[in-house]
Amino acid sequence: MTDFLGFLKPQNMSLFTDFYELTMCAAYFDNQHLENATFDLFIRRLPENRSYFLFVGLEEALQYLQNIRFTKEHLTYLKKQGFNDNFLDYLQNFRFTGEVWAVPEGTITFPNEPLIRVTAPIIEAQLIETFLLNTINLQTMIATKASRVIHAAKGKTVIEFGLRREPGIDAGMKVARSSYIAGCQGTSNVLAGMAYNIPVFGTMAHSFIMSYSREIDAFRAFAKTFPAKSTLLIDTYDDLAGAQKAALVAKELQAKNIKLGGVRLDSGDLAETSKKVRKILDDNGLDYVKIFASGDLDEFKVNELLAKEAKIDAFGVGTKMGTSADRPYLDIIYKLCESQNANGTYSPIMKLSKDKITLPGRKQVYRTKDNNGNFKKDTIALTDEKIEGEPLLVKVMEKGKLVSNLPTLEQIRTTAKENLDKLPKQYKALTQAPTYPVELSQKLKELIEKLTQQIITNEINGENTD
Amino acid sequence: MTDFLGFLKPQNMSLFTDFYELTMCAAYFDNQHLENATFDLFIRRLPENRSYFLFVGLEEALQYLQNIRFTKEHLTYLKKQGFNDNFLDYLQNFRFTGEVWAVPEGTITFPNEPLIRVTAPIIEAQLIETFLLNTINLQTMIATKASRVIHAAKGKTVIEFGLRREPGIDAGMKVARSSYIAGCQGTSNVLAGMAYNIPVFGTMAHSFIMSYSREIDAFRAFAKTFPAKSTLLIDTYDDLAGAQKAALVAKELQAKNIKLGGVRLDSGDLAETSKKVRKILDDNGLDYVKIFASGDLDEFKVNELLAKEAKIDAFGVGTKMGTSADRPYLDIIYKLCESQNANGTYSPIMKLSKDKITLPGRKQVYRTKDNNGNFKKDTIALTDEKIEGEPLLVKVMEKGKLVSNLPTLEQIRTTAKENLDKLPKQYKALTQAPTYPVELSQKLKELIEKLTQQIITNEINGENTD
């Protein structure tokens, strides 16, 4: 039997890579092409309806870089795949020794802005591509999606509830973390609760109700075990009949000086039903009993419910947030932007495939703000330029070692909130948000023009074919 | 620093669950509600453009059931979450002891058909819900999507290339396995290659080309290291100029009696470009050099390319298959369908929430075939009925132990191919496929009618509220 989870251990992550990273590294090694190179990790464009990204995932990326190793088992496997002994000897002592700059987790970012910049011997910088993309893609995608749900909920509580349909075990963990950073109050995922110290929530499913011969018996049984924090699920058979029974149980608890926490709706017209349920509860003097809604929610549904003045106090948002269902990936890439020459200097590099141009050179992103501290404009520039604004990329790793302590999860969550607050409201519209201005510096534009001409002359018009 | 991957170890999967599973279990325990219950795992409906499911994921589900345990660390955490000592003592010795029936991996299935049926003490059967859904959702979703790509490719090679944008580490592994079962020839994921013994593929990225001052130098360097199996990426600057240079290098290799493997296109109009590149290669006497295409492919694009008679020999399919981008989740659920009475007999149970009816009782699925062995019709029936056709659910676990050896990955892949071959062609149409007939047996329909009336009388019209 395959030990599925057994393979996910940290020391196997060196092989969690596309095969071509290893063949390229072998070719670099074989051709003694060992110079430094700089790669940018960035997102090419915004998905439909998105107008910014909330960057998350750096902590795991840095953990990976610190720990990447090749074990004997790996080398034996790679030998069978045709790699030669010299290269395998090199891999045996492989360590990541590069310099890494990155924007902090919780930063608001935009297309084409470098999010992580790696300068390292090209074999090292190449090999790490797949893992970095994989982890930043998922976490930034989910944090971005979740931040939209939080915005739509206008201050009401949102809990991440999607574990059962999130794509796998690692995704279940990362969705909990990323959506908590984005502003969710907690998760249903108990392991994420333990691992990251995130609050966990949840009370009962339909099966609990159905396992009793009468709905009211199920309510009473649950309230007996969790008197203080029960949320009774009232739509197993009929939501209004369920609300009446929940009210009855709430009053039984009240007679013992216990307050029922809430009721949950999981189906039907949540706006209409919530109003009727609120009335049933209020008519029974149970104004303190909260109404919790779940079932197929996302930022659009939450927005619609609140626009209809639904009487909902908290939202359990699951599948559509936890899978970023309307766009389950980012156009995230990792591209070579400069390479070291024999004399130690660096030359900028760009790619010119159809519609797939990349920004050459070692770059920094500068953000300018208005007098209230709100974000106004970003400029992508070369690092040797002097540009107005706050630089977003900070050095996080030098010679393969962390240069400072990383923020805690709570600090990242606070950073995210501060940044989301400083992003002007129009950019947070759920649809048809305007484009936030991101400019290229004059020197960067000139460099692109120069390199484009060089490529056309040398590569496309056939000079370099001897 | 959080040890992200460290938390994904097998012994932590008991907490990889929604919090409400544990609160429900605590309430069951506290109320001495310890009878057996039966749950069905099934998919409620087909996503748009899907007409069947290719079931994958059972092996990991069974591994989980065999190994689920609560450690001291888990119990300490749960105590802090408010669970009482009696329940925690129970969890300390928790083992899954139930009976499990399931359709084999590689089975073609349809909405509402039980895929996994669990009969166990209700606490055990409840607790496992989240993990089972999580693992079957991802793997069946991907296998189904990949089988569509394979169908569209009409026998041409398809390689799974999506690792960098698949949602997390576990997804990266499961996508490789699921798409291999569905008919892909291999994956770019090296760790999946090692873990599951799946062929791995891949040669070079744009960065390799760009790291050399001239494209042709990059081609020559790569061919030096991997002379026999190079696939040269030709679109970094201009695909046709790249093809000319690849032809030059191929002829240099030919002079040494080495045959270049292929060239890869990753951008632009793949149908048109592939024809021009084919001509360049053929004009140079390189008819043996294959053309490999990648870039934003899915079943619709592959179908379109072949309809345009693109000269493509193999497809690298990434993000859209590896995320099931047009529908990144299944409407997969796990529902109580019967519960044991004090006297040991079982009573069927159903749910009647708006639009969310479930099928009551312990069930089996029977498949009838035509004279050629092709699938004709399925019937969902109660297990005590005598129904025509082959029963799909087989017993895989008894008293928490496997009852037979599980098939190998290659066997599952063969099963999937045989089943896909027996599914009549009209059901494999990429869009607007007809609905495969799935009937409910007469006895099951009568039972649904009877239970509906009971629920209306007892729960909705307010009888059961004393």
DSSP assignments along B292-361, one per residue = EEESS--HHHHHHHHHTT---SEEEE-HHHHTTTT--S--EEEEEEEEE-TTS-EEE---EETTEE---S
C-alpha B13, offset from chain centre = 19
Return the axis-axis angle of helices A85-92 and A19-30, rounded to nearest 10°: 110
The predicted pLDDT at position B354 comes to 63
Number of C-beta neighbours around residue A63 at 10 A: 21
Whether residue B134 and residue A188 make contact (CB cut-off 8 A), yes or no, is: no
ipTM above 0.95, yes or no: yes
Whether residue A325 and residue B328 make contact (CB cut-off 8 A), yes or no, is: yes
**Ramachandran sector of residue A126 (left: φ over 0; alpha: ψ -120 to 50; beta: rest):** alpha
Q: What is the pTM of this model?
A: 0.97
Cross-chain CB nearest to A459 (options B8, B237, B356): B237
Residue A374 C-alpha, separation from nearest chain B C-alpha, in angstroms:
31
Minimal Cα distance from A451: which residue of B? B237
Whether residue B329 and residue A330 make contact (CB cut-off 8 A), yes or no, is: no
Cross-chain CB nearest to A16 (options B172, B225, B319): B172
Pairwise CA distance, residues B354 & B368, whole Å: 32
Tell me the backbone φ, ψ of residue B424, rounded to 5 degrees: -55, 145
Residue A458 is given by DSSP the state I
Contacts of B184 in chain A (CB under 8 A): none
Whether residue A10 and residue B15 make contact (CB cut-off 8 A), yes or no, is: no
A433 — contact with chain B (CB < 8 Å)? no
Contacts of A350 in chain B (CB under 8 A): 210
The predicted pLDDT at position A356 comes to 67
The predicted pLDDT at position A408 comes to 97
Contacts of B336 in chain A (CB under 8 A): 206-207, 210-211
Whether residue A353 and residue B216 make contact (CB cut-off 8 A), yes or no, is: no
- Helices H / strands E in chain A, number of each: 16, 21
Residue A200 C-alpha, separation from nearest chain B C-alpha, in angstroms:
7
In a mutagenesis test of the B interface, which of A353, A404, A452, A457 is the best target, namely the one with the most B β-carbons within 10 Å? Answer: A353
Contacts of B328 in chain A (CB under 8 A): 167, 323-325, 328
The predicted pLDDT at position B353 comes to 66
**Tokens of residue B183, six digits:** 């008919």
**Burial state string for A48-58 with b = 16 or more CB within 10 A and e = fewer than 16:** eebbbbbbbbb
Tell me the backbone φ, ψ of residue A25, rounded to 5 degrees: -60, -40
Pairwise CA distance, residues B32 & B22, whole Å: 15
What is the pairing mode between strands B390-391 and B53-55?
unpaired
- Please, is B356 exposed, middle or buried when counting C-beta atoms within 10 Å of its C-beta (0-12, 13-18, 19+)? middle
Whether residue B18 and residue A161 make contact (CB cut-off 8 A), yes or no, is: yes
A37 — contact with chain B (CB < 8 Å)? yes
Beta strands in A58-126 (DSSP E): 99-102, 107-109, 116-121
C-alpha A49, offset from chain centre = 17
Pairwise CA distance, residues B280 & A462, whole Å: 15
Number of C-beta neighbours around residue B189 at 10 A: 33
Question: Of B333, B330, B329, B331, nearest to B39 (Cα)?
Answer: B333
pLDDT digits (tens, 9 = 90+) for A39-76: 999 999 999 999 999 999 999 999 999 999 999 999 99
Residue B385 is given by DSSP the state S
Pairwise CA distance, residues B172 & A131, whole Å: 10
The predicted pLDDT at position B458 comes to 82
Pairwise CA distance, residues A420 & A150, whole Å: 10
Whether residue A353 and residue B266 make contact (CB cut-off 8 A), yes or no, is: yes
**Collapsing DSSP states into helix, strand and coil, what is residue B142?**
helix
Sign of CA dihedral A102, A105, A110, A112: positive
A189 — contact with chain B (CB < 8 Å)? yes
Whether residue A4 and residue B59 make contact (CB cut-off 8 A), yes or no, is: yes
Where do the domains of chain B lie, and which CATH numbers do they carry? 9-142+327-460 (3.20.140.10), 143-322 (3.20.20.70)
For residues A20, A26, A27, A29, the Cα torsion angle rounded to the nearest 10 degrees is 140
Residue A270 C-alpha, separation from nearest chain B C-alpha, in angstroms:
11
- Please, is A91 exposed, middle or buried when counting C-beta atoms within 10 Å of its C-beta (0-12, 13-18, 19+)? buried
Q: Is residue B348 within 8 Å of residue B364, measured between CB atoms?
A: no
Residue numbers in chain B where pLDDT is lower than 50: none
The predicted pLDDT at position A353 comes to 66
Question: Of A304, A42, A318, A326, nearest to A179 (Cα)?
Answer: A318
Pairwise CA distance, residues B437 & B377, whole Å: 5
Residue B371 C-alpha, separation from nearest chain A C-alpha, in angstroms:
36
A357 — contact with chain B (CB < 8 Å)? no
Pairwise CA distance, residues A358 & A448, whole Å: 9
Question: Taking every pair of C-alpha atoms in chain A, what is the biggest distance, in angstroms?
Answer: 92
The predicted pLDDT at position A213 comes to 85
B222 — contact with chain A (CB < 8 Å)? yes
Contacts of A168 in chain B (CB under 8 A): 134-135, 138, 167-171, 174
Cross-chain CB nearest to A130 (options B164, B212, B241): B164
**Tokens of residue B17, six digits:** 């669950």
B200 — contact with chain A (CB < 8 Å)? yes
Residue B392 C-alpha, separation from nearest chain A C-alpha, in angstroms:
22
A75 — contact with chain B (CB < 8 Å)? no
The predicted pLDDT at position A32 comes to 94
Residue numbers in chain A where pLDDT is lower than 70: 353-356, 462-466
Cα angle for residues B85, B88, B90 (degrees, 5° grid): 115
Minimal Cα distance from A226: which residue of B? B27
A88 — contact with chain B (CB < 8 Å)? no
Contacts of A141 in chain B (CB under 8 A): 167
**Burial state string for A318-354 with b = 16 or more CB within 10 A and e = fewer than 16:** bbbbbbbbebbbbbbbbbbbbbbeeeeebebbbbbbe
B354 — contact with chain A (CB < 8 Å)? yes
C-alpha A28, offset from chain centre = 32
Cross-chain CB nearest to A237 (options B202, B339, B460): B460
Whether residue A356 and residue B170 make contact (CB cut-off 8 A), yes or no, is: no
Whether residue A329 and residue B339 make contact (CB cut-off 8 A), yes or no, is: no
The predicted pLDDT at position B464 comes to 62
Tell me the backbone φ, ψ of residue A235, rounded to 5 degrees: -110, 20
User: Is residue A336 within a helix (H) or strand (E), and if so which, with residue range?
Assistant: strand A332-340
| Window 235-274 of A, Cβ < 8 Å to B | 235-239, 241, 244-245, 248, 266-268
Residue B57 C-alpha, separation from nearest chain A C-alpha, in angstroms:
11
B1 — contact with chain A (CB < 8 Å)? yes
Cross-chain CB nearest to A191 (options B10, B16, B212): B16
Question: Of B19, B66, B1, nearest to B401 (Cα)?
Answer: B66
Minimal Cα distance from A140: which residue of B? B167
**Tokens of residue B265, six digits:** 């296109």
